[in-house]
Amino acid sequence: MSGVRYEGIEKRFEAFTALHALNLDIPDRTFLALLGPSGCGKTTALRILAGLETPTAGKVIIGDRDVTRLQPRDRDVAMVFQSYALYPHMTIADNIGYPLRIRNVDAATRAKKIAEVAQALEIDPLLDRHPRQLSGGQRQRVALARAIVRDPAAFLMDEPLSNLDARLRLSMRGEIKRLCHRLGATTIYVTHDQAEALTMADLVAVMRQGELQQLAPPADVYERPANRFVALFVGNPPMNVLRAEVSEQGIHVAGATVPIDGARHQRCLASAITELGIRPEDIRLAAPGSPGALSGEVYVVEPMGNETLVDVRFGDERVTLRAAKGFTAAIGSTLGVAFDAADACFFDSSGSTKVH
Residues of this chain that bind ligand ATP (CB under 6 A): 13, 16, 18, 36, 38-44, 192
Which residue lies nearer to ligand ATP by CB, 210 or 336?
Answer: 210
Nearest to residue 251, comparing CAs of 228, 276, 221?
Answer: 276
Least distance between ligand ATP and beta carbon 85 (Å): 15
**Of residues 36 and 99, the one with the C-beta less far from ligand ATP:** 36
By beta-carbon proximity to ligand ATP, the closer residue of 209 and 274 is 209
The alpha-carbon radius of gyration of the chain (Å, integer) is: 24
Planar angle of CA 52, 57, 63, nearest 5 degrees: 65
Task: Note the helical H segments in 201-286.
Answer: 218-223, 228-233, 262-270
Residue number with CB closer to ligand ATP (163 or 271): 163
Residue 314 C-beta: closest distance to ligand ATP, Å:
34
> Nearest distance from residue 11's CB to ligand ATP, in Å?
8
Contact 325, 288 (CB under 8 A): no
Q: Which is nearer to ligand ATP, 48 or 96 (CB)?
A: 48
Cα angle 322, 328, 330; round to 5: 115
Q: What is the largest CA-CA distance in the chain?
A: 78
Q: Rounded to an integer, what distance in angstroms lies between the CA atom of residue 30 and that of residue 144?
A: 17
**To the nearest whole angstrom, how small is the minimum distance from the Cβ of residue 55 to ligand ATP?**
12
In whole angstroms, the minimum distance from the beta carbon of 250 to ligand ATP comes to 41
